[in-house]
Amino acid sequence: MHHVLSTDDFTREEVLYLIERAEHLRRLSRPELAVRLRGAVVATLFYEPSTRTRLSFEAAVAKLGGRVLAAENARENTSAKKGERLEDTFRVVGCYADAIVIRHHDEQEMVRAAGKSPVPIVNAGAGAGEHPTQALLDVYTLWRELGRIDGLRVCIMGDLKYGRTVHSLLKMLTYFRDIDVTLVHPDSLALPADLEAWLRERGLKMARERDMAAALRRSDAIYQTRIQTERVRSLDEVQEASAYVIRPEHLSLLQPGARILHPLPRVNEIDMEVDEDERAAYFRQAENGLYIRMALLEELLKEVVR
């Protein structure tokens, strides 16, 4: 049994293996897919709502022929309200399901409780903390769109302070070689200092760039992010961040083979006209999430459906 709580729960080899499995799964026909998790049951407990991520996991289970037990509003509706500890919830839901996909507001509580779970726990985004399957689909998208991960020049843009997808992605990039990261962000939304120090210690090459055009010209991949207005505290932060919008006029700056990624949802930090450019990869990125989550769930449940 193997929980997926953090990007640290993967090795470079495991990431590459999951990418390979995702590629395999997307070549299979619907009937071929539909038998692979037959008989398995996966619970989705969402203490913070996220229809997108939940449906992505549930689609992965459904397409592989498994069954879903869904709690769309777990925070309101579960025994948490009656004072139950999360580890008790895991023990009980673990009687019904073979794995639990959870989005929880308290990462530490989730990690601690996972220690008591009889079934694998998959972190589907924890408060301002980790979102390891998003990082998986992000590197999968880099690999799929650009043919490799090692050696890429990656520009990370927008809200680097509160954006948990950025944090998880940067951590996962430390598994790869010769990554050259350019950080483009307003002063108030820089990476947390401790994370930056940790990443540098792991050898990730990162440099801040104030000139957005220069960053766009130089990069193989631009990872644009939404300002987390629900987490950002001051209006100043929002206004500063809104300077970094990708507009149609920026497309000519991009290299012909570059790619724009975005974890979505997008508000206005990428102009919708950009969508039509083939270098806009964010909707394909969302689809990649389906396949990498299929690969992950299959890996976690392979003993169950053997």
Where does this chain bind a second copy (CB under 8 A)? 30-31, 33-34, 38-39, 41, 43, 45-46, 49-52, 55-56, 58-59, 62-63, 67, 69-74, 76-79, 81-85, 88-89, 91-93, 95-97, 226, 229-230, 264-268, 272, 283, 286-287, 289-290, 305
Length of the chain: 306
Helices (H) and strands (E) in the chain, counts: 12, 9
As measured in angstroms, the least distance from the Cβ of 285 to a second copy is 9
Nearer to a second copy, 83 or 256 (CB): 83
Nearer to a second copy, 78 or 188 (CB): 78
User: Which helix or strand (DSSP H or E) is residue 287 part of?
Assistant: helix 282-300
Q: Is 81 a catalytic residue?
A: no
Contact 220, 152 (CB under 8 A): yes
- Tell me: is residue 89 an annotated ligand-binding position: no
Backbone φ, ψ for residue 238 (5° rounding): -65, -45
Nearer to a second copy, 60 or 170 (CB): 60
How far apart CA 157 and CA 223 sit, in angstroms, is: 6
Of the residues 44, 53, 89, 165, which is catalytic? 53
Nearer to a second copy, 38 or 302 (CB): 38
For residue 224, list its beta bridge partners: 157
Q: DSSP strand E in 147-294: where? A: 153-157, 180-184, 205-208, 221-224, 259-261
For residue 193, list its beta bridge partners: none
- Tell me: is residue 164 an annotated ligand-binding position: yes
- Tell me: is residue 186 an annotated ligand-binding position: no
Of the residues 27, 30, 82, 306, which is catalytic? 82
Q: Is 103 a catalytic residue?
A: yes
Backbone φ, ψ for residue 71 (5° rounding): -125, 100
As measured in angstroms, the least distance from the Cβ of 40 to a second copy is 8
Nearer to a second copy, 131 or 171 (CB): 131
| Helix, strand, coil distribution of the chain in percent, nearest 5 | 45, 15, 40
How far apart CA 258 and CA 235 sit, in angstroms, is: 32
* CA distances in angstroms from 156 to 105, 113, 182, 220, listed in the order given: 25, 33, 6, 11
- Tell me: is residue 52 an annotated ligand-binding position: yes
Of the residues 54, 131, 250, 266, which is catalytic? 131
Q: Is 82 a catalytic residue?
A: yes
Pair of tokens at residue 183 = 């950080």
Of the residues 24, 52, 202, 205, which is catalytic? 52
Q: Left if phi > 0, otherwise alpha if psi is -120 to 50, otherwise beta: which for 43?
A: beta
For residue 70, list its beta bridge partners: 44
- Tell me: is residue 53 an annotated ligand-binding position: yes
- Tell me: is residue 265 an annotated ligand-binding position: yes
Active-site positions read 52-53, 82, 103, 131
Binding residues: 52-53, 82, 103, 131, 134, 164, 226, 264-265
Binding residues for L-aspartate: 82, 164, 226
Binding residues for carbamoyl phosphate: 52-53, 103, 131, 134, 264-265
